[in-house]
Structure 1
Amino acid sequence: MRGVNYLTNERGIKTAVMIDLKTYGDEVEDFLDALEAKSRKNEVKEDASLVFERILNKKKANGGL
Structure 2
Amino acid sequence: MLSISVERSSEDGVQERNYNKREFSYSSFVRSFTLPDAADANGIEAKYVDGVLCVDIAKREEAKMQSRQIEIK
TM-score category, normalised to shorter length? under 0.3
Structure of greater Rg: 2
Structure with the largest fraction of helix: 1
Using the size of structure 2 for normalisation, the TM-score is 0.22
Structure with the largest fraction of strand: 2
